[in-house]
Structure 1
Amino acid sequence: MSIYQRIGWRLLAGIVVLWGAVSLSFIGLHFASGDPALVILGGPEALPTPEVLARVREQYGLDQPLWVQYGHYLSRLLVGDLGESYRLQIPVTQAIATQLGATLQLALAAAVLALLLAISVALLTARRGRWLSASVSGVELVLSSTPIFVLSMLLLLLFSFTLHWLPPTGSGGWRNLILPSLTLALPVAALLIQVLRQELDDILEQPFITMARARGLSEAGVRVGHALRHALIPLLTLAGFIFASLLAGSVVVETLFSRQGIGRLLLDAVTNKDVPMVLGITLLAALSYVLINLLVDLLLPWIDPRVQGQ
C-alpha cells in the first residue's frame, strides 16, 4: 500500500471517528444532562416560570425532536459553528481558544519531559543487569499505577509544602509549570520506559549491533546512534495514547494546581451541564487524536523505510 493510500484510508477512518465521537456524545449528553433550558437560565435556583422555560426551549430549538436537533448540530459543524456555551453565553470556539494555549503549553512540557525521561532511563538500564532492570521496573509499576491526584498531592507535599522549592498553584510563569507537567509526565514516562527498554533489549542482540561494536564504536554510540532509532518506532505509534493520557490527566491537574486550560474548562462544563461546551471539547480531542495518528503515519516511513512497502 502506497503512502497516499495509507493517508486516504486514515482520513476516511478519521472522519468516522469524529462522527462517532460527536454522535455518541450528543446522544449521551442529551439523555443525561437534564433540562438544558433550566441550565441556560441558571439552574433551579433561578426559579424560572414555565413560560420562560418554554421561550428558552423555542429560542434554542430544544422543543424540537432529538433527531432534528442532531441534524441542526451536524449542519452547523460543517461550517465550523460549535454553538454557544450555556453557562458562559459566548461561542464555544471563543471559549476554547482562550484556554487552549495554557493546555498546549502544559501538554507539550509534559510530553517532552516524559520522552526525555523514557529515553534516558531506557538507554541507561537496557541490558545492564537483572537487578537494575527489576529495580527500575518496580518504580515504573508504582508510577504507572498511582492515580494522578495522589501523585500530584505527593509532589505538592514534597516540593511545595516541605521543601518550598516550587509554587503550589497558579499559571504565572515557568516555575508554576514544573509540578503540573511532572505530574502528567511521570505515569506516561513509566509506560514508555517499559516499551522502549524491551525494544532496546531485543535490538541490542541483533547482528548489526554486533558489527557496530566490532568497528570500534563506543557503547554509548551503539545505543544512541544505532539501537535508539529502531527502538523509537513503537514510541511513535503510541503518540495517540500519549496525547489521550495527557488530555485526560489535564482535567485533574489543572483543577488541583488551579491552572487555566481546556481540562478545567471541560470539568466546569460537565459540572454545569453545559452541553455545547462538552461537545466542542470532545470534538477537539477527537480531531487532535486523528491528526496525531495521521502525522504518525507520515513519519513512520521516514523512520523505518520498511513500512513504505507494507
Structure 2
Amino acid sequence: MLVHVLRRLGGAAAVLWAAFTVSYLILYLLPSDPVAIMLDQGAGGERVDPVRVAELRARHGFDQGPVQQYLTLLGRTLTGDLGTSISSGAPVAGLIADAFPETAKLAGLALVLGLAGGVGIATLASWTRATWLRDLLLALPPLGVAVPGFWVGLVLLHLFSFTWFLFPAVGNEGFASLVLPAVTLAVGLSAVVAQVLSQGLREAWRAPYVETVFAKGAGRGRVLGAHVARNGSLPTVTVLGVLVGNLLGGTVVVETVFSRQGFGRLVENAVTTQDIPVVQGLVVVAAAVFVGTSLLVDLVHPLLDPRVLTGARPAGPGPGGA
C-alpha cells in the first residue's frame, strides 16, 4: 500500500509540473505583449508612454529571459504565490480565492444531482425486467453526452426563467440561482455515470458468483445491493476523479451562460484582457483540483477492491462475499 501511495503521489506531482510548464510555454511565449495591450485598452486611443510599459514589464518579470522567468515563476508557485494580475494589480491567489466559493457551491450541487441521476438510471436499468424500459433508460446516457452543455442551459433558461418564471435567470443570489446552472452541469455528468455504471452492473450480473449467491437463496434485491452494485460500481469510482475535475472546466461555460460570478467570469475577463498571470493561476488551480481528486480516488480504490494492489482477479463471489 505504501508503494502504491508513493507512486500515485509522484504521478500527481509530475502532472502538476507538466500543467505548469505547458501553460507557461503557451502563455508566456506568445508573440503579443499583455502589458502593452492592457495599457492600450485603458488609453482610449492616446499614445502609451514607453517608460510606463517598461516599468510594468519589469514589475511582472516580462523583461527576463524565458528560462529565468520560468524558474522564477515556478519557485513562486511552489510557495503559493501565483503572481499579480496585470489588469487589476491584485494578487492572483486572492482573486481565485474570492471566486472559488461560488464555483465550489455550483460544482458540489451539480455533483450531487449528477450522481443521483446517473446512479438512479443505471440501477433501475439493471433492476427492471421490462425490456422496453431498460432500452429506454440505456438510451438516455448517450443522448446526455451528445447534447452540448450551453444548449441545455439555454433551454432551461427559456423554460424555467423566461416562460414559467420559476428560477432566476442570472446572478448569485440565493439557492434558487444555483438550481438551473447545477442541473445544466449535472446532465452531462449523470450521463457519463449512468453509462459507465450500467456497463459495470451488466458485467457484474453475468459473473459466475451471482448464480452461486442465487443458489444459496438470496433474493434479487440482496444480490443487487450486496454483490452486483459493489463490484459493478468500481469502474464508476475510477472515473469519478476525472468527472469531478471536468466539472471545474464545465463551470466556466455555465457561469458565462448564467452570468454568475466565479471561475467562469474570472477566466473570461483574464482571457479578454490577456491577463497571463491570472490565466496561468487558474490553469494551475484547476490542475491541482483535478489531480487531487484523482489522487483521492486512487487511494480509496484499493480499500474498495484490494485486488488493485496485487493485480489478482476474483475467483469467487468477489469483494461482497457470499
Give TM-score scaled by structure 1 length.
Answer: 0.93
The corresponding residue for 1:172 is 173
**More deviation, 207-216/164-173:** 207-216
1:231 positional shift: 1.5
1:216 positional shift: 4.4
Query: Does 1 or 2 have the higher relative contact order (CA < 8 Å, sep 6+)?
Result: 1
The corresponding residue for 2:68 is 68
**1:299 and 2:297 matched:** no
The corresponding residue for 2:79 is 79
The whole-number CA distance in structure 2 between the counterparts of 1:224 and 1:89 is 55
1:71 positional shift: 1.5
The corresponding residue for 1:29 is 27
1:179 positional shift: 0.7
**1:41 and 2:39 matched:** yes
1:40 positional shift: 4.5
Q: Are 1:240 and 1:293, in contact at CA under 8 Å, matched by a contact in 2?
A: yes
Superposed CA deviations along residues 151-208 of structure 1, whole A, max 9, x for unmatched, are 1011111222222222212211111111111100111111211111111112122233
Task: Return closer, same or farther for 1:83/1:40 CA change in 2, 3 Å cut-off.
Answer: farther
The corresponding residue for 1:10 is 8
* DSSP-derived class of the 1:97 partner: helix
**More deviation, 251-260/28-37:** 28-37
Q: Are 1:247 and 1:263, in contact at CA under 8 Å, matched by a contact in 2?
A: no
1:250 positional shift: 0.4
1:44 positional shift: 6.3
The whole-number CA distance in structure 2 between the counterparts of 1:293 and 1:89 is 33
1:37 positional shift: 1.7
The whole-number CA distance in structure 2 between the counterparts of 1:195 and 1:271 is 37
**Aligned amino acid, residue 74 of structure 2:** L
Question: Equivalences for 1:211-290 in 2 at 5 Å?
Answer: 211-290=212-291
**More deviation, 179-188/211-220:** 211-220
Give TM-score scaled by structure 2 length.
Answer: 0.89
Superposed CA deviations along residues 26-59 of structure 1, whole A, max 9, x for unmatched, are 1111233721222453636454122221222223
The corresponding residue for 2:319 is none
The whole-number CA distance in structure 2 between the counterparts of 1:58 and 1:207 is 69
Superposed CA deviations along residues 73-95 of structure 1, whole A, max 9, x for unmatched, are 11211222110011221111111
The corresponding residue for 1:143 is 144
**Where does structure 2 lack aligned partners over 5 or more consecutive residues?**
312-322
**Where does structure 1 lack aligned partners over 5 or more consecutive residues?**
none
Residue identity over aligned pairs, in percent, reads 36
Q: Are 1:83 and 1:276, in contact at CA under 8 Å, matched by a contact in 2?
A: yes
* DSSP-derived class of the 1:165 partner: coil
**1:115 and 2:111 matched:** no
**More deviation, 137-146/183-192:** 137-146
**Aligned amino acid, residue 93 of structure 1:** A
* DSSP-derived class of the 1:85 partner: coil
Q: Are 2:246 and 2:290, in contact at CA under 8 Å, matched by a contact in 1?
A: no
1:226 positional shift: 2.2
Q: Are 2:201 and 2:233, in contact at CA under 8 Å, matched by a contact in 1?
A: no
Query: How much is the aligned-residue C-alpha RMSD, in angstroms?
Result: 1.9
The corresponding residue for 1:55 is 55
Q: Are 1:39 and 1:274, in contact at CA under 8 Å, matched by a contact in 2?
A: no
Q: Are 1:39 and 1:87, in contact at CA under 8 Å, matched by a contact in 2?
A: no
1:105 positional shift: 0.9
**Aligned amino acid, residue 167 of structure 2:** L
**More deviation, 4-13/126-135:** 126-135
The whole-number CA distance in structure 2 between the counterparts of 1:229 and 1:303 is 9
* DSSP-derived class of the 1:269 partner: helix
1:295 positional shift: 0.9
**More deviation, 188-197/42-51:** 42-51
Superposed CA deviations along residues 90-110 of structure 1, whole A, max 9, x for unmatched, are 111111111111111111111
**Aligned amino acid, residue 254 of structure 1:** E
1:12 positional shift: 1.3
* DSSP-derived class of the 2:233 partner: helix
**Aligned amino acid, residue 263 of structure 1:** G
1:300 positional shift: 0.9
The corresponding residue for 1:160 is 161
Q: Are 1:37 and 1:56, in contact at CA under 8 Å, matched by a contact in 2?
A: yes
The whole-number CA distance in structure 1 between the counterparts of 2:101 and 2:251 is 13
